[in-house]
Amino acid sequence: MLEWHDSSARLVGPGGSILLPDDDEISRKLAMLFEGQCEGLGPTEAARKFGYSKQRYFQLLEQFEAQGALALLSKARGPKTNYRRTEEMVRQIIRHRFLDPEASAEVIAQKLQQTHHLISIRSVERVISDFGLQKKTLRRPP
């Protein structure tokens, strides 16, 4: 019988053991599925033992059965693209800045919003900053 020992990060069986690296999430998830499906621990206990919910256990099992072990590797979460500050939106912000160098980020955002572009003042400020389009301040000698 193969068993996972969390304290030593080892898979232990009747003939010996193997150390799993801390950053090897695929092996850990596979060990959880193995214990839950093959060793009789069951989904609920296996998920709890490895720090997952029962629902996540079944999601991982489904991914593994459909695509194999590589499907157990976590993918990046969150937005994959910059959906507000698109290239076109950046061009429009720069265009407005050059048309009226005295316009504030608030004014530029308002003009874009009037043309039905969803953009926040902060996003306009970021574009202005990223491209070095801030207003220059004059320093007076003492």
Domain count for the chain: 2
Residue 96 pLDDT > 70 = yes
Indicate the pTM of the whole model. 0.55
**Residue 68's domain spans which residues?**
3-72
Residue 138 pLDDT > 80 = no
- 67 and 7 in a common domain: yes
Question: What phi-psi label fits residue 67: left (phi over 0), alpha (psi between -120 and 50 degrees) or beta?
Answer: alpha
Kindly state whether residue 58 falls inside one of the protein's structural domains: yes
- How far, in Å, CA of 32 to CA of 104, rounded? 56
- 97 and 60 in a common domain: no
Q: Report, as an integer, the average pLDDT of 2-29.
A: 82
- 126 and 66 in a common domain: no
- 91 and 67 in a common domain: no
Kindly state whether residue 46 falls inside one of the protein's structural domains: yes
The mean pLDDT of the chain is 89
Kindly state whether residue 82 falls inside one of the protein's structural domains: no
Tokens of 100: 């009226």
